[in-house]
Structure 1
């Protein structure tokens, strides 16, 4: 579970964002801006990241605050799972990324696998929708739902992408160093359950 200070900071940010969007009274707007600034200060204090950067990344949205959606693609071959090596941290992840406006989750999955691994795939099954705060990821300023979508290779060849430096398949008992902001060992173990038990219902939370 995420630390309490992070939960409070995100809740304050959500309240402030809604208030700044829907309030008309100038004094209320000032109060909601103050609440937003407090949330930024909390996050900066606990992460040693500058308040300016946090405002750009964390407190820059308008409208009613809703979770972001991260699509992760699960591709098996010969009882091994497809992973890509991320340029940002040199660790390994399931292909994927943020959901795109105008694309369905399946379309995002197909696009991300092609861009990051070189393979052409079709989507076959929703494995699960996981709330990032319920899993052992590093603290994140965003509230994120992670959609794990199973895919089947229909063409292409392994090829690194703009954001990736290597493409490999790994057995369940031979996992590499994981990019834990993107996927955890427990999540990889979870998706392997669906390789062994394809009739298992979708996982959520």
Structure 2
């Protein structure tokens, strides 16, 4: 959260992308291309990723740059929280993922739970809208908003998916190793606060 180089690289990328979108001057267009190249070089210098990967990951979008949206579901059963084991790193997170075009945020939460766990759920309420940069996640090239819904199981049976190798319910004192790029211990604690305080208002950054 304190990596100033990452903040600078993101800001340069955002300025460059806006300029590439709106400029009418061919000379300014070239300058914005150079600015975007500089942002990727910063990433290349301070991370282990090669330039090709960074360009595809970090500077491949067009149009005015806006934050990405990560949608997660908090599903409780008998006082325990549903988590999924990510195949990518073998660690655990709340079910969910990037928002999908054509779906509302709540529909994405329902879809992701079913795809990743086999459970059919319904959304009960919105719990939190968080800015990922304000929480103890590892550095990320994206500026991301995280939306968390509380959901209830209404059907289905547990299963795995192409992205998850297991799912299970955990209490707040017996958590598995978390995939902190997706879910942090402080966010888990916040969700249990909602469980024990149903009138708690929506949390936002």
TM-based fold match above 0.5: yes
Q: Is the 8 A contact 1:2 1:133 kept in 2?
A: no
Post-superposition offset of 1:91:
0.1
Considering only aligned residues, what root-mean-square deviation do their CA atoms show, in Å? 0.6
Normalised to the residue count of structure 1, the TM-score between the two structures is 0.99
> Would you identify which runs of 4 or more consecutive aligned residues in structure 1 move more than 3 Å?
none
Find the aligned partners of 1:133 and 1:190 in 2 and give their Cα distance.
17
Q: How many positions carry a matched residue from both structures?
A: 205
Find the aligned partners of 2:72 and 2:40 in 1 and give their Cα distance.
29
User: Unmatched 5+ residue regions in structure 2?
Assistant: none
Find the aligned partners of 1:198 and 1:30 in 2 and give their Cα distance.
54
Find the aligned partners of 1:19 and 1:137 in 2 and give their Cα distance.
29
Find the aligned partners of 1:142 and 1:2 in 2 and give their Cα distance.
15
SS at match of 2:53: helix
Residues 12 and 41 of structure 1: CA distance in aligned 2, closer, same or farther (over 3 Å): same
Q: How does 1:51-200 map to 2 (within 5 A)?
A: 51-200=51-200
Q: Is the 8 A contact 1:2 1:134 kept in 2?
A: no
Q: Is the 8 A contact 1:71 1:96 kept in 2?
A: yes
Post-superposition offset of 1:2:
4.0
Find the aligned partners of 2:57 and 2:11 in 1 and give their Cα distance.
16
| 2:30 corresponds to 1:14 | no
Residues 135 and 96 of structure 1: CA distance in aligned 2, closer, same or farther (over 3 Å): same
Find the aligned partners of 1:42 and 1:152 in 2 and give their Cα distance.
44
Report the more deviating stretch, 74-83 or 159-168: 159-168
Post-superposition offset of 1:161:
1.1
* Corresponding residue for residue 37 of structure 1: 37
Normalised to the residue count of structure 2, the TM-score between the two structures is 0.99
SS at match of 1:127: strand
User: Unmatched 5+ residue regions in structure 1?
Assistant: none
